[in-house]
Chains A and B, each alone.
Chain A
Amino acid sequence: MAESHDDNPALFEDDDHRAVYIFTPAGHSGLPQQEKARPVKRRKVTSKRASSSVAAAEVVQEGEAETERTQTTTTTTTTTTAAAAFPRLFGGKESAEAAELRRQVFDTAWPVLDGRIKNVLREANRTTLEDVSSFIRDAEGDATRGTRIPAGFIITGPNIASQDLLFEQLSEALGKATQARFVRLRAAGAPNLKAALKKVIRDATAQVSIGGGGSDGDEDAEVAFGRDGRKYLDYDLEGLHAFLSAQQDPSKRVIVAFEDSEAFESSLLTDLLALFHSWQGRIQFSVLFGIATSVELFQARLLKSTARQLFGAKFDVVQADLVLDNVFKSAIAGTQATLRLGPTLLRNMLDRQRDQVAGIRVFISSIKYAYMCHFYANPLSVLLADEKSLTRQLLQPDHLQAVRTLDSFKAHVEAAVDARQLNHAQSLVEDDSYLVKQMAEQRLKKQDYLMQLLRSLHLLTSMDLVPGRFTDLYVSALAGGLDLTPIIDAIKRLGADDVPALINRLLTAIQTGSPDLDLPGWEDEAEDLISSLSEIRDEIEALAEQAREKGQQSLKSKFTAQSKVLRTTVVAQKVQLSQDTAKLTEEDKAFGKAIDSLVDLLTHHIYSDPIDSLFLHEAWAYDAEAPYRDVFVPRPGTTFERALTRPHGYLGCECCSKTTGTLSATLPTTCILYQLYLETGSLVNVADLWSAYYALVGEDSDVGLGEREALVRFYRGLAELRMMGFVKQSKKKADHVAKVKWLL
């Protein structure tokens, strides 16, 4: 990889002065030169023209070649996956097939999840979408509306990253539901009335023309829309009207969505709304406002007369937290997830969502990145392939060797030794085929483990007794295992009426499973549990019945708080506290017993081990947080500072290794200047900076640079400091520059 890149450095110098150009690889220069009709770039240098026309020619050729190759591919993922293969691991010893198989597993695993996630996102906003569309549809027929503009106020909350998705869906849904043209406006894209109108008209007319193929792409200041060939200015709503008439669109609806309505100037909004209002008879305008704060605040920004032109309704959006939970359930916890993300990573990701309001898309990207990392860099990920493709031949000795180095292997063997299964342990270590067999068995064990985990979680959550969110529960279950302990008390404290309800909930949970987690019901496998649960329920109901017949108000168990009575007695002027168990009836005692058995039963069924207790979990669980942190949460300040203050950390050179944080003449120039810069005040005297620098590297020093030579380096260093944005020009004093950065 690395060695193939030491090509001629002078190669690119040609293109240096060009801001943008199509890259022509060096190897391709030998291709037959095809003369193109017109130059690709309007540049003066002739040699450039030749080379870029070669590029253009190739583009054509490549395009043609591509037509045969890709016919069915439409999405990005599928087009690209064919090309880049995974590198071979084990220092290149991994077989190409194994690497290819990893790639395949990734290619099949991710799209499944991706589809599910998209589904979740679509579902999340579904009710909002439906409400908005029906509002827009009904508003037309609403007699109370008059000529007012239908306006939907969508309370999106402060997370602008999630708004994008919502409006995308809105435009899709409303376009379908109401046959309207949908225009999205953002404050940045519509700074003034003219620009906003242009955008509205352009978007409204473009939506059809792309589909109808009528777009000529010729965007002049005047656009012809109507059949009569009249031309309109491109910010004239008359043009839009003519266009809509020409399209024979009976409804002539246009929906304009202000995505970040707080960011619009209120005068602009006022003007736009007034204009829309005056066109209301000819074009059916509806408006939508994405509101991050509240409708009241928004209204306060509008003129009263403008507000009177609106016919509004308010819609709430599902909050990001809930969406996150759903995505989490389906993509991370769900049975469809091929790869399990480990607790450390998950906690990191969730924390980031909470602390930095990173947006659901970033979260999804993070999941995807974890998948990518796992299959790209872990040779054992090949074990996740299905049994058909994972043949014995595919498993190289290196794979087995790798398995034997795993922590979980070690733990497993040690456990076997402790359990006196010496043969088993010995075979694991020595016998390859035995190990392979064991690995195959682990596949089932993993399935069992996951099922057990998810069912336990599902039962737990369906009891409605656990505080906290599902995400936290899941993460802690992975990290430290799961059992009933935290809620035993809660169960015990339940009254006689609640327990049967609880049991019913559990039974339903078992029957239906969880669609969120993609967990089917498991009635067949849990007959014991079901029958025991029903028994307990029946028993308690019977007991309650008996108690009622006896005139007892409600069943009490020894666990309920009321049964304990705190008595205070004054003995010899001292208060004595004593606890006393209230009298329990027969039924109460039986009830207590029933609850005990329920707890036992549930304890027996709801449990899970930590994920890292499983042999071979490294193959199917990914828990490295470092790549995630490095890739998504960069810390450029630290990086820069480290590079500039301790360059040998990167360079690994002898000469600078002794100088940790102190100045030395051998340091790169910019590093020296940076250190001096750190010591300066807000104004830097360049003359002094120079003399300090020269004193360090000048003729008297170890390095002994001549003045001019040192000056060249000094120039470079200073220019680089500027390039990195550390200093800027200052007019306060001659030969001074201003310090710009204090915090890296």
Chain B
Amino acid sequence: MPPRRKSTDQHELVERPSRKRPLPADDPYEVPDEDDAIPSAKRQRRQSQDGGTLSKRNATPRKQVDFLHSDLASVPEEPESPTEQTPSKKRLGRPPKALTGGTPKSKPSTPSALRKNLVDDTPVKLRGLNGVDTPSRRGIADRSARRKSARALIDRVLEGAVSDDEDEEQQIAREIYESSEQEEEDEENTQRQESLADEEADLAATTPSKTGRGRGRGGRPPGSATRRKKSPTPPRDLPPHEQYFYQNKPGSNKTSNNTLSSLDLLTHEEYFSLLREPGLQREPHEEQIQALQSHHAASFPQWAFELSQGFSVCLYGYGSKRRLLHQFAEYLSSSEGQNNNKIILINGHHRTLTIREILTTISLAVDPTFRLPSGNPLAMIQNLFSLLSSSAPKPAARITLLFTSLDSPLSPTLRKPATQSLLAHLSSHPSISLACTVDTPDFPLLWDSSLRSSFNFAFHDCTTFAPFSGGGPPLGGPVESGATASNEMDVVSEVHELLGRMGKRAGGKEGVAFVLRSLPENARKLFGLIVGEVLVAFEEGGGSGEFVGGRGESPGVEYRMLYNKAVEEFICSSEMAFRTLLKEFHDHQIITSHKDSIGTEYLSLPFRKVELESILEELMS
């Protein structure tokens, strides 16, 4: 798979700035030091040749590293990948003495925009980055060396042909250019990215989507090897905060204009029918996931003990922990001789989950005949507590809450501080214990120290790798395999929502049918009208998605025209009524509207043509 090879090459190349900051201990892209050593060694020699003051070089710790590495300069470099077309291959076994060649090949040429950028910004940024560097004589010499080498490189590229004897010089030029470039790489990338990303975007747009991988790091299709080796990739080893600022700089968000329009997105039907196919039936790591699961299950007694001692158990880590929690529920109810323990399962990923529902269920578990008056949740909790303490004949009924996804980002209310503090209050009651799972990596931020101490959490790493969405359709339907799977989310809706492809809950054409059934006759007629018009527009416009800015799937219909037609068909008599009808559709997000540049309003439907046709059929029948 050539594309991947390519990108690993690039990793090695962009590795160089890593010396600026400590690598994460186990950086996946760590490259042996020899690779680093060569350019820096060259630089050092070049600098001593410049008569640069060595003492100044020691100003920054990074440069001292260069010195250390200089011993390794003679270590041969790693062979480059065969796909690499640039002359860098020649580096192999090149005698070190050639370095003294310096940069003689510096014939004047017209400064390109690229070079200007680089040169203009350098001194300021240099200081900004290292903090200690002063624009010394050496620095200036460096810059001019770099300028020359840049020029040489550009010339080379322009000329295209590379003769053998020139290779070496060019190589040196390249190295000088790159080695000094490292210093300002962070800052400079913006400019280079600006200039290169455009080209790249063009490139990516012209290549077929399978290979044209215009991800930020710029997968270059083969053949563009004449371009400079450095990709506009941000340095990979920036600490996260730096990377954040780097990536959020205005103008740095260059992504390709590819869309998924060429791809047939999955529908619910297709998704679930595909899931039944043997290839997807089997998870690749099924056995390992099972093993992991049973490994975690071995600590059930421990968790039970912790719960009994007034701790809340919190399970975190990647993978669905729902199944595990269910097993834990099984364990709790089977192993404990204690009959008074009632277990309540709560699914945090449910969008409809409310704290009231939880409280009501708890009160039912304590006393099925008791009706917890609904009202302010705080008041309900107080009532519940008094119920717990006052249920005199059966003292201290123990309630165990098993809460999946306590931090679920899908739930609209769960992550709110008010909800969390209510839950903390709930779990701090002596006869209520809580075991929960959390799915996001940032869950500790949900609780301040006060909440955390009332939760009294004991955390456990329960990485399960179990998929969040399992083998079966979400409602009913037997599950043939995938014992580790659970349906915690509706994958298709999730993804489509993420892509802005579909209305929130009225999913697919079933959703539309469902919504329309609940609407009056007029509304149904109107929707039929819109669908018809949109289909006509499809025919006329050739189904180009661009009509609505590439967002929706269908072309837009002009609002005015639609209104007139609606009046003609006696669907509504005033614009007011028309708007009211449309609002209903908007609320269910089965239509979208937008205005074009001159203010004409267009209505469109977020469905594909096939879907629209079947909707229309259903409406007509």
Docked pose: A81 CA to B309 CA in angstroms:
8
Q: Which of A631, A696, A701 contacts B459 (CB 8 A)?
A: A631
Let me know if A142 is at the binding interface, CB within 8 A: no
A13–B350 contact, CB under 8 A? no
Q: B444-464 CB contact bits vs A (8 Å, 1 = yes)? A: 100011101110111111010
Let me know if A40 is at the binding interface, CB within 8 A: yes
Question: Which residues in window 7-38 of A have CB below 8 A to B?
Answer: 7, 9-13, 15-23, 25-28, 36
Docked pose: A26 CA to B437 CA in angstroms:
22
- Among the 9-residue stretches B33-41, B90-98, B368-376, the one with 4 or more Cβ atoms under 8 Å from chain A is B368-376
Q: A643 with B463: in contact, given A13-B479, A359-B450 (CB under 8 Å)?
A: yes
Q: Which of A4, A73, A77, A729 contacts B334 (CB 8 A)?
A: A4
Q: A743 with B241: in contact, given A661-B26, A712-B275, A725-B409 (CB under 8 Å)?
A: yes
Docked pose: A639 CA to B4 CA in angstroms:
27
Q: Which of B217, B305, B310, B393 contacts A84 (CB 8 A)?
A: B305
B310–A76 contact, CB under 8 A? yes
Q: What are the residues of chain A within 8 A of B29 when measuring CB–CB?
A: 661-662
Let me know if B125 is at the binding interface, CB within 8 A: no
Q: A5 with B331: in contact, given A634-B316, A716-B469 (CB under 8 Å)?
A: yes
B459–A688 contact, CB under 8 A? no
Docked pose: A41 CA to B444 CA in angstroms:
33
Known contacts A691-B211, A712-B266, then 4 further A-B pairs from the complex at CB < 8 Å, ordered by chain A residue: A27-B334, A685-B255, A705-B279, A719-B491
Q: B302-345 CB contact bits vs A (8 Å, 1 = yes)? A: 10111011110010111100010011011101111111111111
A9–B469 contact, CB under 8 A? no
The residue in A64, A75, A670, A685 that gathers the most chain B C-beta atoms within 10 A of its C-beta is A685
Let me know if B489 is at the binding interface, CB within 8 A: yes
B347–A739 contact, CB under 8 A? no
Let me know if B465 is at the binding interface, CB within 8 A: yes
> What's the least CB distance linking B21 to chain A, in Å?
14
Q: Can you name 10 A-B residue pairings with CB atoms under 8 Å?
A: A9-B482, A161-B450, A217-B373, A630-B461, A681-B234, A681-B253, A691-B258, A723-B409, A723-B410, A733-B257
Docked pose: A390 CA to B316 CA in angstroms:
40
Question: Which residues in window 120-173 of B have CB below 8 A to A?
Answer: none
B463–A20 contact, CB under 8 A? no
Let me know if A496 is at the binding interface, CB within 8 A: no
Docked pose: A215 CA to B211 CA in angstroms:
72
Let me know if B20 is at the binding interface, CB within 8 A: no
Q: Which of A17, A66, A685, A743 contacts B340 (CB 8 A)?
A: A66
Q: Which of B27, B354, B453, B494 contacts A723 (CB 8 A)?
A: B494
Q: What are the residues of chain A within 8 A of B340 when measuring CB–CB?
A: 62-63, 65-66, 70, 79
A725–B442 contact, CB under 8 A? yes
The residue in A198, A639, A719, A741 that gathers the most chain B C-beta atoms within 10 A of its C-beta is A719
Residue of A nearest to B473 (CB): A13
Let me know if B554 is at the binding interface, CB within 8 A: no
Q: What are the residues of chain B within 8 A of A670 when measuring CB–CB?
A: 318
A76–B430 contact, CB under 8 A? yes
4 smallest beta-carbon distances between A and B, as pairs: A661-B28, A743-B240, A634-B459, A80-B308
Let me know if A467 is at the binding interface, CB within 8 A: no
State the majority secondary structure of interface residues on A.
Answer: helix
> What's the least CB distance linking B490 to chain A, in Å?
8
A639–B463 contact, CB under 8 A? yes
A22–B247 contact, CB under 8 A? no
B339–A65 contact, CB under 8 A? yes
A640–B344 contact, CB under 8 A? no
Docked pose: A19 CA to B361 CA in angstroms:
10
Q: A84 with B308: in contact, given A640-B318, A715-B491, A736-B255 (CB under 8 Å)?
A: yes
Q: A36-59 CB contact bits vs B (8 Å, 1 = yes)? A: 100011000000000000011001
- Among the 9-residue stretches A364-372, A553-561, A606-614, the one with 4 or more Cβ atoms under 8 Å from chain B is A364-372
Q: A160 with B1: in contact, given A77-B309, A713-B280, A741-B441 (CB under 8 Å)?
A: no
Q: A719 with B309: in contact, given A217-B383, A630-B459, A692-B213 (CB under 8 Å)?
A: no
Q: A25 with B308: in contact, given A376-B302, A698-B210, A708-B270 (CB under 8 Å)?
A: no
Let me know if A394 is at the binding interface, CB within 8 A: no
Q: What are the residues of chain A within 8 A of B323 when measuring CB–CB?
A: 9, 12
Q: A76 with B431: in contact, given A688-B213, A695-B211 (CB under 8 Å)?
A: yes
Q: A25 with B453: in contact, given A59-B368, A372-B306, A708-B274 (CB under 8 Å)?
A: no
Residue of B nearest to A637 (CB): B441
Let me know if B243 is at the binding interface, CB within 8 A: yes
Q: What are the residues of chain A within 8 A of B339 when measuring CB–CB?
A: 61-62, 65-66
The residue in A1, A737, A741 that gathers the most chain B C-beta atoms within 10 A of its C-beta is A1
Let me know if A668 is at the binding interface, CB within 8 A: yes
Q: What are the residues of chain A within 8 A of B199 when measuring CB–CB?
A: none
Question: Which residues in window 76-109 of A have CB below 8 A to B?
Answer: 76-77, 79-84, 86-87
Q: What are the residues of chain B within 8 A of A7 when measuring CB–CB?
A: 327, 330
Let me know if B576 is at the binding interface, CB within 8 A: no
Residue of A nearest to B483 (CB): A9
Let me know if A444 is at the binding interface, CB within 8 A: no
Q: What are the residues of chain A within 8 A of B279 when measuring CB–CB?
A: 705-706, 709
Q: What are the residues of chain A within 8 A of B8 when measuring CB–CB?
A: 662
Q: A651 with B333: in contact, given A10-B478, A16-B487 (CB under 8 Å)?
A: no
A645–B255 contact, CB under 8 A? no
Residue of A nearest to B344 (CB): A22
Q: What are the residues of chain B within 8 A of A23 when measuring CB–CB?
A: 329, 333, 342-345, 402
Let me know if B70 is at the binding interface, CB within 8 A: no
B308–A739 contact, CB under 8 A? no
> What's the least CB distance linking A31 to chain B, in Å?
13
Residue of B nearest to A728 (CB): B498
Residue of A nearest to B357 (CB): A20
Docked pose: A651 CA to B463 CA in angstroms:
10
Let me know if A264 is at the binding interface, CB within 8 A: no
B216–A681 contact, CB under 8 A? yes
A631–B458 contact, CB under 8 A? yes
Q: A644-677 CB contact bits vs B (8 Å, 1 = yes)? A: 1111001111010000111100101010000110
Q: What are the residues of chain B within 8 A of A11 when measuring CB–CB?
A: 326
B301–A84 contact, CB under 8 A? yes
> What's the least CB distance linking B347 to chain A, in Å?
5
Let me know if B538 is at the binding interface, CB within 8 A: no
Let me know if B113 is at the binding interface, CB within 8 A: no
Q: B340-360 CB contact bits vs A (8 Å, 1 = yes)? A: 111111110110111001100
> What's the least CB distance linking B159 to chain A, in Å?
33
> What's the least CB distance linking B417 to chain A, in Å?
7
B478–A735 contact, CB under 8 A? no
Docked pose: A733 CA to B284 CA in angstroms:
34
B336–A83 contact, CB under 8 A? yes
Q: A632 with B458: in contact, given A17-B474, A19-B346, A706-B279 (CB under 8 Å)?
A: yes
Let me know if B423 is at the binding interface, CB within 8 A: no
Let me know if A684 is at the binding interface, CB within 8 A: yes
Let me know if A636 is at the binding interface, CB within 8 A: yes
Residue of A nearest to B548 (CB): A734
B213–A651 contact, CB under 8 A? no
- Among the 9-residue stretches B287-295, B506-514, B563-571, the one with 4 or more Cβ atoms under 8 Å from chain A is B287-295
Let me know if B263 is at the binding interface, CB within 8 A: yes
B361–A20 contact, CB under 8 A? yes
Q: A18 with B266: in contact, given A74-B395, A84-B301 (CB under 8 Å)?
A: no
A734–B259 contact, CB under 8 A? yes
Docked pose: A80 CA to B357 CA in angstroms:
27
Q: What are the residues of chain A within 8 A of B357 when measuring CB–CB?
A: 19-20
Let me know if A112 is at the binding interface, CB within 8 A: no
Let me know if B64 is at the binding interface, CB within 8 A: no
Q: A644 with B318: in contact, given A23-B344, A711-B266 (CB under 8 Å)?
A: yes
Q: A652 with B291: in contact, given A630-B459, A636-B443 (CB under 8 Å)?
A: yes
Q: Which of A22, A369, A634, A641 contacts B364 (CB 8 A)?
A: A22
Let me know if A361 is at the binding interface, CB within 8 A: yes
Let me know if A700 is at the binding interface, CB within 8 A: yes
Q: A686 with B297: in contact, given A639-B463, A653-B285 (CB under 8 Å)?
A: no
Residue of B nearest to A685 (CB): B255
